[in-house]
Amino acid sequence: MPTRGTITVHAPKEAAYDALLQACRDVDAKVKIADRDTFTIDGDSGTMWLQNRFSFRFHARLLDRYDGVIVEAFDFSDKEPDRRFLEKLFEKLGKRVEVFTPEYAVVEYMESAQQPASSSATPLGQDAPAPLKDTLDIPRPGRLMVNEDKVPKPAFSIKAYGGGNEGGADKLIIIPIEIGNKLLFVNGKNLYLEIPTGSITSVEKYSETEKGFTGAKKNSKILISYDDGNPNSVAFDVDDDKVDELVNEIDFMRLYERQYFDAIDFEYRQGNEWHKSKLYPRTLYLAGGEQVLWMDDGSSWLGFGSYKWVKALTNFRVFFYDFKLHQCNSLSLPLVESVVVNNKRRESRFQHQGETRSRTGGGHYSYSYSQGSGQSESVTIGDVLFMHAGKPMVTFEGIEDPDGMAQMARSAIDQSKKNTRATGTAAQKTATLPSQPEGIQCKKCQSYNPEGSAFCNSCGERMNFVCGRCRHENPDGSRFCNQCGQAL
């Protein structure tokens, strides 16, 4: 059964192809066809005697995805799925060009390696649904800096129609834009239909009157039209109070995808050499050469549960990411004019014996906890503001040891100004990231609101302190107008 491996390569397509061809030779694979015009390679994997693995046919090709290059390779083992050859191939490839974390999946048999299955969508209600994979096959522009399992994946109970199979999908899972941007129609672990949101042409809501024991009743329905090479559609029931939420989420996903993966070309220095890279400032994907220096997330106590937000400092940028809004408020480090510590105070924290928090690779954290006595300690808490054009563009609230955080950020900013430079169209601009959203930024949730907003549209936080009597604008947090004394 064929095994497919994909890996993102940070290199020009021609250089990536040369590196892949050489990696095939490094693993003693027998290359029979190498077509530079189509960027494909065919051959035999060669026998791996120490691993007791015989030679099987393989096929590899280069794909353009989200302004990056992805190597997609297939190993056509005629027995159990075996990815050892692909792992070895990608390991050798990584020694010649910069690569990101590979992904593997078992795929159905394909008659021609040159023509892999073009659509992953499965007719709804088919008699033999495909098993729902633990790891989704998602093209990625780089390595995700957060734990994919903790990214929120909204699920809705539905009743879907199609194919005449009454045992069809009963749940719609949204794989959000952060990790794939697709809709999964499932029943238990069976996948009935997979729709990439980029193929959706329209989303409509309507209602139908159905007769029941208690009389006529209107049921809310949603019709999704999509094109996976052929025009298709699927209709399903959903709870009335979830219709608008679901329609708005799907519309947002399909319209925002192209903008979400906008990339910025730049170069970074390692030693005496400069390397080209792409930064995806609206996403949680790491650019080539990017490293997480500090990160915190809004998951529940001890790091369990789904993310609500993530705030992070890397060697290239600082940002606050809101998973509900799918919005990343990001600022490249060379644009940070100053780092300010504000609202410092002392707070008591209770520390249990046996509770630990340690950093792991990629900026993630691991936790362990054991019951026992503990003690209270006083710590310094404060807000860290990253300033640009005289105002805070990114704010980290409630940071423990804010002075230490600010010192680390200033050091990273100094290094970034020395070791990064914009290229292409970005070099002609004063900013190396897209311009910040217009309006007033909420200090609580970081989202932007129209000028003159009294309260935040996202979290309800008070936005301004304009006196209702004399219209004088007061400093944030004022309880009384400092012009006329009116209570605010």
What does the pLDDT look like over 11-44, one tens digit per residue? 788 888 989 999 988 888 888 888 888 888 988 8
Residue 179 located in a structural domain: yes
Rg (CA), the chain: 26
For residues 400-410, give the mean pLDDT. 94
* Cβ atoms 157, 238 nearer than 8 A: yes
Statement: residue 123 has pLDDT above 80: no
What pLDDT is recorded for position 160? Answer: 76
Both tokens of 303, joined, read: 């790091």
Q: Note whether 96 and 166 are same-domain residues.
A: no
- Clarify whether residues 255 and 294 are in a common domain: no
Asked if the structure places residue 120 within a domain, the reply is no
Cα gap 201→221, rounded to integer Å:
17
3-state secondary structure of 204: strand
Half-sphere exposure of 367 (CA within 13 A, CB side): 12
Higher per-residue confidence, 336 vs 142: 336
CB 340 within 8 A of CB 387: yes
For 280-308, what is the mean pLDDT?
83
CB 418 within 8 A of CB 375: no
Q: pLDDT, tens digit, for every residue of 41-64?
A: 988 887 654 455 566 788 898 887
Asked whether the predicted pLDDT for residue 485 surpasses 50, the reply is: yes
Is the pLDDT at 360 greater than 60? The verdict is: no
The mean pLDDT value for 125-147 works out to 55
The Cβ of residue 58 has, within 10 Å, a number of other Cβ atoms equal to 27
CB 457 within 8 A of CB 449: yes
Q: What is the rounded CA–CA span in Å between residue 65 and residue 69?
A: 6
Does the residue 34 lie in any domain?
yes
0.95 exceeded by pTM: no
pLDDT reading at 137 higher than 90: no
Distance CA 200, CA 426 (A): 32
Compute the half-sphere exposure of residue 237: CA atoms within 13 Å on the CB side of its CA.
10
Do 191 and 83 lie in one domain? The reply is: no
What mean pLDDT do residues 79-85 have?
A: 73
Strand order in the sheet with 420-422: 273-279, 264-270, 420-422
How many domains in the chain?
Answer: 4
Task: Give the chain's end-to-end CA distance (angstroms, integer).
Answer: 70
Give yes or no: residues 187 and 78 share one domain: no
Does the residue 112 lie in any domain?
no
Contacts of 453 by beta carbon, 8 Å cutoff, 6+ apart: 439, 440, 463, 464
For residues 374, 294, 143, 273, the Cα torsion angle rounded to the nearest 10 degrees is: -140
| Boundary residue ending a domain (106, 138, 173) | 106
Who has greater pLDDT, 198 or 302? 198
Partnered with residue 374 across adjacent β-strands are 352
Can you give the CATH number for the domain in which 231 is found?
Answer: 2.30.29.30
Identify the helix (H) or strand (E) that includes residue 398.
Answer: strand 391-400
Predicted pLDDT at 458: 60
**238 and 318 belong to one structural domain:** no
Please tell me whether residues 321 and 370 are part of one structural domain: yes
User: Is 80 domain-assigned?
Assistant: yes
Tell me phi and psi for residue 416, to 5 degrees: -65, -40
In a domain, 160, yes or no: yes
Q: Rounded to 5 degrees, what angle do the CA atoms 189, 191, 194 make? A: 145
Domain residues for 136? 130-259
pLDDT level of residue 112 (50, 70, 90 thresholds): very low
416 and 337 within one domain: yes
If asked whether residues 189 and 86 sit together in one domain, one would say: no
Residue 30 corresponds to which tokens in the numbers above?
A: 């027998």
Q: Same domain, yes or no, for 311 and 392?
A: yes
Asked if residue 147 and residue 241 are part of one domain, the reply reads: yes
Mean pLDDT of the chain: 76
| Residue whose pair of structure tokens reads 């059964």 in the numeric block | 1
Answer yes or no: is 42 within a domain. Answer: yes
| 274: in domain | no
Give the CATH number, domain containing residue 42: 3.30.310.80
For residue 172, give both structure tokens. Answer: 């719609």
Residue 134 pLDDT exceeds 60: no
What whole-number percentage of the chain has pLDDT above 70? 68
Q: Both 156 and 233 in a single domain?
A: yes
Residues 187 and 298 occupy one common structural domain:
no
